[in-house]
Amino acid sequence: MKAKSIVIVLHVILLFLYGCSAGANDNMYEVSREDVTQNLEGIEFDYELPSEMPFEIANVDVSRPSLSQPLFAVDYIGENEKHISLEVTNSDVTWTLPDETEEVDVNGNEGMFMENDQGAKILAWKAQGVSYELSTNTDIGKDMLINVAESFD
């Protein structure tokens, strides 16, 4: 009887611990950095990339709009039209911001979040001299974009 009670208590504790470990990032999926870096030969500045996305990645599209400029773009594409675009540049960027811009914290860096009338959301910040911009026009919200930004390494 005593052994059976101990087993039941252990199961309850394990279920409780599993439930407590389920946090806000449960819906985040690991992203392969190599899918991007293999397409960025010639980028001569240090940059970070997300290690997590709020959807499973079906395709990654990497582009360099100008080979003579220190910038690149990455489109992370998932199922059901889910996507997040990333723009990274190592040049001085001045953003033209709408009145509805909200200041946010991204890993200790000052960032800006904005959403337009068409539902496009943009999160922009600078870290170690590099400018980053995440954008989406899907149902992915501000908090999830910040989660993605905080996964950068």
CA 120, CA 136: separation in Å to the nearest integer? 6
Question: Nearest CA to 138 among 55, 40, 27?
Answer: 55
CA 88, CA 70: separation in Å to the nearest integer? 8
Question: Nearest CA to 127 among 46, 43, 30, 41?
Answer: 46
Beta bridge partners of 85: 75, 135
Question: Nearest CA to 60 among 38, 28, 44?
Answer: 38
Instruction: Quote the mean pLDDT of the chain.
Output: 83
Give SS3 for 142. helix
Complete domains list, the chain, with CATH: 27-150 (3.30.200)
Q: What integer pLDDT is reported at residue 95 of this predicted model?
A: 64
Question: Nearest CA to 149 among 64, 54, 78?
Answer: 54
Q: pTM score, two decimals?
A: 0.80
Task: Please report, as a single letter, which amino acid is at residue 52.
Answer: E
Q: Which two tokens stand for residue 18?
A: 């599993």
Give the count of beta carbons closer than 10 Å to the beta carbon of residue 130: 18
Does the structure show a pLDDT above 90 at 65? no
What is the per-residue pLDDT across 1-59, written as a single tens digit (0 to 9) for each? Answer: 444 443 343 333 333 333 333 344 468 999 999 989 999 988 989 999 999 999 999 99
